[in-house]
Chain A
Amino acid sequence: MRDLTIFLYEWKHFFRNPFKILAVFLFIVAGVYGLNNGYSLYQNQTAEIEKIHEKIQTEKEQYQQQYAEGKLTDDSRPWIDMASPFWAIWYTPTYHIKTPSPAMVYSIGQAEQYGFYKRVTFMASPYDADMAEEIANPERLQTGTLDFAFVVLFLLPLLLLILLYNIKSAEAEQGFLPLIEVQTASKNSWLISRILFYFLLVTSVTIGLLIYGAMLTDVFKNASEAFGQILLYTLLYLAFWSLIFFFILKNGNSILGNTLQMVGVWLLLAFVIPAIVHQSISISKPANLMTEFIEVRDKQEELYANDSVFERKLIDLFPEITKTTAFNDETKFNSAMSNSAYALVNELNKEAIRPIEKESQDKNTLIEATYWFNPVTFFQNKFNSIAQTNYNDYQVYRDEIQALIDKRTGVLIEDIWADVKVDTERYKWYSESLSTAR
């Protein structure tokens, strides 16, 4: 029997089976729903970012107006002097935003576990409370949002299972198998052709869904590479499950036995193995309670309590200040020194963050080491990565925030000690330059 004939018979078989048609229909519904969930989050984040941009713009304009009018202090708070670099930078509204990738439509990933905008100040740190996720129902976060990645990772193998479960075993149970062996050159190629039919059917459905998703957020225009990668990994995942099911079908001759094995493998790979890995990692590395980060508060107190240590640390960090005017001017020295405190606190924060991030990185290394026997987690994190909703993408975002804080404190120290008088031009420069880490 030629492949085309097998394909045609399989097509007829598929169309005469309402259960299989319903399964494909439900898969499409779930896919469309999942893509719309991704799109909805993308839209919400984009709208929120738009509001933040407007807010920054209004604030900037208000302060620029103050500079233009020469209103550099506040009557109720006379200690504020916006001509000084300290207060000028204090009042330079800077946000760092993680712009969602259009590919988020495919995988929401960990996007709901982290904040995506952060006001950068002298005292800021990438682990501040405002870096927490958007307000959401924890039970919903626990259940997880049904996104496209979920549909592919968990429902696609089930769809394949429903489409394939009785292939060959039904014929075996009805006693047709010897007849088929006579009619086909090889039993295996007959089985492969039938599986291939469903592989192609599911591939077409998946490509259709991917294109629908791409149209929602303009993926082709803004993230065409991501589309190609998602397609590639989806096909690899589909091929992976098709191969597993092929071996089960090849070696089994009963519908019940095959279904049991297929469901068993699915439960093992989608539930049991990831759950065991998750549990083991939680035992070997329990949730970090951020005590190192909390300790910064005491280290800060110690720093403030000893002027000479404070001065030495500041000079170690910024040796160039010793050559500045303020350093050699007794009237300016003390104020410059106290206004430099945030730069040292920033260093303390960075020191505290290092072991915390190392622990997280160690956990990730452990997770990645399990990929060879934990393929669902591998594909899950791959999808998240392509959609830029993976832990590592948020780590990059946190690093960018840290770079902005470093730049802010760097400019602060430079201008305080150089005794810069801030005017409209300098303020504009702050507004533009402090928004980018470069």
Chain B
Amino acid sequence: MWKIIKNEWKYYGRTPWLLGISVGFVLVLFLSIWLGNFQTQKQTERYNTASNELRAQWESIDAMNPHNAAHYGTYVFKPANMLSSLDEGVNSITGNVLRLEGHVQNEIVHSEASQMQTISKFGKLKSSLLLQYIVPILLIFLAFSSISNEKRSGRLKLLILQGAKPISLIFAKTLSIWLYGVGLLVLTIMAYSLFHLNDLNVEVLGRTTLLLVSYSLYYFIITGLTVFFSARWENSTIALTSMLGIWIIWTIFLPNILMSSVEKWHDLPSRNEFKAAMQEDRSKGLDGHNPSDERAKELEEKVLVEYGVDSLSQLPINFDGLVMQEDEEYGNKVWDKHFGELRKVLASQKKSYQMGGLFDPFISLQNASMGFAGNDNLHHQEFLVQVENYRRVFIKMLNDKHAYGGSETGDWGWEADNEFFKSVPDFEYKPTALASVFPHYITDVLLLVGWSILVLSLIVFGAKKMQVL
């Protein structure tokens, strides 16, 4: 079998058009990595400038009432992920700017896609675009006539007479073409690593290894299936057109149709409904600016008893700060409920979409690629949760300062000093660890393995049914 593989590779080396395409393709791959890397750098520069500017603005607050500062708020920008140069995932669609302020959990806005006209329906020139869409086509063109040509030329008979087993022949042809795809993958990962030598760590290596495994499995599926068709049918054109048809259905047709369908199966609320439901729940609670409602009354009684005084004016603290924090905590429950439900719907959509991998391994590859690159919706949601957790700490610090900083109830003119504002920590994004999210991608990897086993069985079946004479 290894002899056949070696011969095949010798043939590739002697085929000028294939060499030309390969060299050209490798150059485009390197270009995509270089451009992707350059874009991430530019985006990171912009991110750093904006973040530093915002922090400087916050730290330059001389004196301000803490509640006014909660309304003044701050902003968090979504940082670029290092693996974005391989697969950008949902990053150009999701927003980049998130306003953090009191009383409300805002949504991330100002996506890159909304800042210009449409350009590419399939995204930027990232390695993922080439590896997901173009390489499989190359593999199909390499494989579709691999066996049928041998049949037509009569070489197959000769090989069988010389002792080669049909199964070994088909398997060797599959492996030799598959290795070509894997070679391109390895080159991509190596080039990527060269650009990020200083940033390589276990996390990045783990993610890139999983990317390599996922793509390798998909390439095996594509190659194996094409070689199977080539062995099954006399006419290589039928093998080619069938595989092109399958490629169109898998790559263009099904992902779109399935993604649109899952959103219908698991309905998301309209923005209006979502806001109205939160407002409804929120209105049942405290009004941060109006300490006269029922909940405030209860809180007032509790605090008066706690401090052993009869009226708010006798309190050594600023009751308004407590009311606002209580309101904030009630609000947090409301956000958790509604945003939590939203996340549940999105998770259900994702699970249903992942099951689409049963019919279309490209779906599993796309999910795994975005996920292992850390740029899918799951990682995006993780980022949003981290920001919201920070907002809660941020607002609590301001409310606590308002309550215990030295002012009295009703004193809205009291101001905290610059030292306090400097002491409020900045948001620090901790990239989601692969280990914590890996279980979400097991379905995708298992489906790719399942498809590979199926293709392997087809190859064995194809070898048995193949007419040699």
- Which of B43-51, B167-175, B318-326, B387-395 binds A? B43-51
Complex contact A289–B97 (CB within 8 A): yes
Chain B residues in 8 Å Cβ range of A364: 116-117
Complex contact B271–A135 (CB within 8 A): yes
Q: Pick from A109, A127, A144, A275: contact of B129, CB below 8 A.
A: A275
Chain B residues in 8 Å Cβ range of A52: 272
Chain A residues in 8 Å Cβ range of B90: 138-139, 141-142
- Which of A5-13, A280-288, A331-339 binds B? A280-288
Between A and B, how many residue pairs show CB distances below 8 Å?
237
Bound-complex Cα distance A330 to B112 (A): 50
Complex contact B260–A263 (CB within 8 A): no
CB nearest neighbor in B for A255? B237
The secondary structure that dominates the A interface is helix
Bound-complex Cα distance A189 to B114 (A): 47
Complex contact B119–A290 (CB within 8 A): no
Complex contact B256–A143 (CB within 8 A): yes
Q: Pick from A113, A132, A145: contact of B256, CB below 8 A.
A: A145
Complex contact A129–B99 (CB within 8 A): yes
Name the residue in A30, A109, A290 with the highest tally of chain B Cβ atoms < 10 Å from its Cβ: A290
Complex contact B110–A288 (CB within 8 A): yes
Chain A residues in 8 Å Cβ range of B46: 286-287, 289
Complex contact B110–A127 (CB within 8 A): yes
Chain A residues in 8 Å Cβ range of B118: 109-110, 377, 380-381, 384, 390-391
In this assembly, does A85 line the interface, its C-beta being within 8 Å of a C-beta of chain B? no
State the Cβ distance, A95 to closest chain B Cβ, in Å: 10
Complex contact B110–A138 (CB within 8 A): no
State the Cβ distance, B237 to closest chain A Cβ, in Å: 5
State the Cβ distance, A246 to closest chain B Cβ, in Å: 20
Chain A residues in 8 Å Cβ range of B313: none
Complex contact B125–A267 (CB within 8 A): no
State the Cβ distance, A14 to closest chain B Cβ, in Å: 15
- Which of A148-156, A178-186, A192-200, A342-350 binds B? A148-156
State the Cβ distance, B405 to closest chain A Cβ, in Å: 20
Q: Pick from B106, B134, B274: contact of A129, CB below 8 A.
A: B106
Complex contact B75–A283 (CB within 8 A): no
Complex contact B252–A142 (CB within 8 A): no
In this assembly, does B42 line the interface, its C-beta being within 8 Å of a C-beta of chain A? yes
Contact with B along A350-375 (1 / 0, CB 8 A): 00000000011001100110000000
Bound-complex Cα distance A391 to B112 (A): 12
Complex contact B237–A275 (CB within 8 A): no
In this assembly, does B8 line the interface, its C-beta being within 8 Å of a C-beta of chain A? no
Chain B residues in 8 Å Cβ range of A276: 125
In this assembly, does A318 line the interface, its C-beta being within 8 Å of a C-beta of chain B? no
Contact with A along B114-130 (1 / 0, CB 8 A): 11111111111110010
Complex contact B119–A283 (CB within 8 A): no
In this assembly, does B109 line the interface, its C-beta being within 8 Å of a C-beta of chain A? yes
Complex contact A281–B119 (CB within 8 A): yes
Chain A residues in 8 Å Cβ range of B290: 76-77
State the Cβ distance, B229 to closest chain A Cβ, in Å: 13
Contact with B along A235-278 (1 / 0, CB 8 A): 00000000000000000000110011001000100111011111
Complex contact A289–B117 (CB within 8 A): no
The secondary structure that dominates the B interface is helix
Q: Pick from B89, B99, B116, B270: contact of A134, CB below 8 A.
A: B270
Chain B residues in 8 Å Cβ range of A143: 255-256, 259, 366
Complex contact A289–B110 (CB within 8 A): yes
Within 8 A of A (CB), among B92-120: 92-97, 99, 106-107, 109-120
Complex contact A141–B93 (CB within 8 A): yes
Complex contact B114–A113 (CB within 8 A): yes
In this assembly, does B346 line the interface, its C-beta being within 8 Å of a C-beta of chain A? yes
State the Cβ distance, A38 to closest chain B Cβ, in Å: 11
In this assembly, does A308 line the interface, its C-beta being within 8 Å of a C-beta of chain B? no
Q: Pick from A33, A113, A130, A137: contact of B346, CB below 8 A.
A: A137
In this assembly, does A191 line the interface, its C-beta being within 8 Å of a C-beta of chain B? no
Query: Contacts A110-B114, A146-B256, A278-B124 given: A137-B377 contact, CB under 8 Å?
Result: yes
In this assembly, does B248 line the interface, its C-beta being within 8 Å of a C-beta of chain A? yes
Complex contact B377–A271 (CB within 8 A): no
State the Cβ distance, A161 to closest chain B Cβ, in Å: 8
**Ordered nearest first, which 7 A-B pairs have the shortest CB separation?**
A274-B120, A146-B256, A287-B112, A275-B125, A363-B116, A138-B90, A279-B124
A-B contact pairs, 27 of them (CB 8 A): A44-B270, A48-B272, A110-B114, A113-B113, A114-B114, A129-B109, A139-B353, A139-B370, A142-B89, A146-B256, A271-B129, A274-B119, A275-B122, A275-B126, A276-B125, A278-B124, A279-B125, A282-B124, A283-B35, A283-B38, A286-B39, A287-B46, A287-B112, A288-B110, A291-B54, A298-B57, A377-B120
Interface positions of A (Cβ within 8 A of B): 19, 22-23, 26, 30, 33, 37, 44, 48, 51-52, 76-77, 109-110, 113-115, 117, 127, 129-146, 150, 153-155, 158, 162, 165-166, 255-256, 259-260, 263, 267, 270-272, 274-283, 286-291, 294, 297-298, 301, 359-360, 363-364, 367-368, 377, 380-381, 384, 390-392
Instruction: Give me 20 other A-B pairs in contact (C-beta within 8 A), A139-B370, A287-B46 excluded.
Output: A51-B272, A76-B290, A117-B272, A130-B271, A135-B270, A135-B274, A136-B268, A137-B349, A140-B263, A142-B90, A145-B260, A155-B253, A263-B141, A267-B133, A278-B124, A278-B125, A282-B112, A286-B43, A289-B97, A391-B116
